[in-house]
Amino acid sequence: MDEKVLLHVEGMDCANCAVTITKTLSKEGLKEVKVDFLSGEVTFDKKDNKEINSAVSTIQRLGYKVKNPNIGEEPVVEKSIIGESNTKQKFFISLVFTLPLFFHMFLPFSFLHNPVVQLLLCLPVMYIGFTHFGKSAYYSIRAGVPNMDVLIFIGSTSAFIYSIFGLISFYGTETVNTYLFFETAATIITLVLLGNLIEQRSVKQTTTAIKQLGMLQPPFAKKIIIKGLEEEIVKCEAKELQKGDLILINTGDSIPTDGKIQSGKGTFNESMLTGESQPVYKTVGDPVTSGTILEDGNIRFIVEKTGNETLLARIIELVKAAQHSKPEIQKLGDKISAIFVPVVLLISVCTFVFYYFFTDVLLSRALMNSIAVLVISCPCAMGLATPTAVMVGLGRAAKNGILIKGGTTIESMSGIKTVVFDKTGTLTTGNFKIKKINCIEGDENTIRQVLYSLEKNSSHPIARSVQTELKSYSSSAFEWKQIQEDKGIGINGTDSNGDLYSAGSFQMVKHFHQDAEHEIYLLKNNKLIATIDMEDEVKKGVKEVVEELQKSGMRVVLLSGDRKKNCENVASQTGISEIYSEKLPEEKLAILDRLMKENPTAMVGDGINDSPALAKATVGISISDASDTAIQSSQVILLAGNNLDNLTKAIALSRMTFQTIKQNLFWAFFYNVIAIPIAAAGFLNPMIGALSMAFSDVFVIGNSLRLRKRKIK
């Protein structure tokens, strides 16, 4: 299996820069290349270290810098840096030389009107423009994806070369002043650099969610080392912890890694991971999660997971991976961006030709109109429209205990019209209690022993509840020669004597038994020996969630493998009118398929038997205490598993994010459709055009940042 490589790159100024790197690396044979301009991350699959060396060389040849690649060792950098400091330095140097050039039009100092002085002031700015924009423009053209820097470079260079021509041809005459546009060339570069600087600072605000999640893990831990009868507490780095280490946590401390409480008790603040505001009480045997805070108490816990195995690390990786996923709507922006620069160049040339050959304006005026078209055009706004909104939306969702796997999921979930719920463990707590054991053969003690021995091998919510209730039988549990679980039906075990025991739903016995009023049926050698009645409770707040979904125009459906009586009981308590009960996994898929043909449909579940339906649905939504299989099958994970309020938040956030994407794309298209004709008509000075172009990006990013504060409806 290929290994995933992560490199951090400095110097990407716009989304088209990312496209340039992506296409170039792909042409060189690298697989699964993904480049994120916002975070400065480049990922790809590699088979050997030669590919890493080659990728780094290619990226640097394109004019970008790879930050500490550590070739041949670990090709992951400690943190992502967008080259703000470098751009800031270039901007201020350019500003120093541009201000005298710009203000010579308003100041009476005669030396500023000297063409040679203007040339000398312009040269440093042009050098910065050549190295900053020219290099990027050249390599983007080589890669077959001309970017915004092509427009900026051609525009500023045209004004500069025209001024040089006038200076050489008419130096010492009055005519020379009609050819001097050094201030235009310098101002274009300086203003675009200012726009890049503001853009980079704004972009950083859209990437704060991952950084904040990463900061949840404390850098140090208090490890307990036992030496004979004495204990020593040693402060060590959290990344050095190993499985089995004993860690001390006092009131106010953050948990450095995942583990299980060995001694002590306390209340934990888990809101930063689950969005659940209420503190959670935990004691011996309960799990603790990296990044959560012990608000009150004192505990010792055993380390069970470290590094990338922890829940916090998995959340960060899920969010980062999700940010690379593009919604379908972005394809329109990508298609337009791919042809944008050539089209603008053509419009610019046509503008020059029209004014110079078909009107009576001067050459200088025709050139300025042509340059204005180049510098007011902004392909970056289209490139930033989607990823900035996705970045902020996913980040806010993660802070609310909602993991959304990518921009595609956001787009899909924003259009959901039907929500299908599983029952057990989703609408109900899954904390079943044994109400009654009806013995048909044998004594109740043996029935309990067999029941525990079978159900301890299942992850179904009812099975987990049986395990909890009958845990006193753990010491006398059967040893099975063979154990097998049939999804949606039950579990079978063969003992050392060859006897076959089975525990399952009515589906297991319906071919010979008519009474479907029990939760569990226990068989020995295919003969019914006991039935078990269970009780479950509806989760707190579910009724309000269902009502809110229905008020927003959603169709709410209950789809379960449980008995009709139990489903109707839950439906009556939650306000759900459409019920499908006693359905096998394949029957669930058939019903789901029919619902999806009518409307985009979300499936909310948690069990192994829900996995096919979760994968089949338009959007699969699982809760945090779901099985790993269900989580892998889902596009949305609600970390606060006992609080379905996050479901309505997830849908609302998706709609808000997708609405922001559409607003951004509309602005990007509208700006260019209006601005380019205005510039071509000669109503814009190139310097004003450069300023407008720079701030069109900032407008898009600012609109995306609004998602951080908007009220979730």
Q: What amino acid positions are annotated as catalytic residues? A: 422
- Of 54, 44, 42, the closest CA to residue 17 belongs to 42
Burial 332-341 (b: 16+ CB within 10 A, else e): ebeebbbebb
Question: Which residue(s) pair with 636 in the sheet?
Answer: 404, 621
Cα angle 71, 73, 75 (rounded to 5 degrees) comes to 60
DSSP 600-653: -EEEEE-SGGGHHHHHHSSEEEEETTS-HHHHHH-SEEESSTT-THHHHHHHHH
Q: How many whole angstroms separate alpha carbon 586 and alpha carbon 584?
A: 6
- Of 689, 679, 686, the closest CA to residue 163 belongs to 686
Q: How far is CA 539 from the centre of its chain?
A: 29
* Contact residues for 92 (Cβ-Cβ < 8 A; gap 6+): none
Q: How many whole angstroms separate alpha carbon 421 and alpha carbon 58?
A: 50
* Contact residues for 143 (Cβ-Cβ < 8 A; gap 6+): 20, 23, 24, 27, 62
Q: How many whole angstroms separate alpha carbon 465 and alpha carbon 654?
A: 34
**What CA–CA distances, in Å, run from 207 to 240, 396, 490?**
27, 11, 46
Residue with the two structure tokens 């006992």: 642
Q: How many whole angstroms separate alpha carbon 228 and alpha carbon 17?
A: 61
Q: How many whole angstroms separate alpha carbon 254 and alpha carbon 299?
A: 12
Q: How many whole angstroms separate alpha carbon 280 and alpha carbon 639?
A: 14
- Of 32, 42, 33, 34, the closest CA to residue 10 belongs to 42
Query: In 3-state terms, what secondary structure has residue 154?
Result: helix
Q: How many whole angstroms separate alpha carbon 9 and alpha carbon 32?
A: 17
Q: How many whole angstroms separate alpha carbon 561 and alpha carbon 588?
A: 8
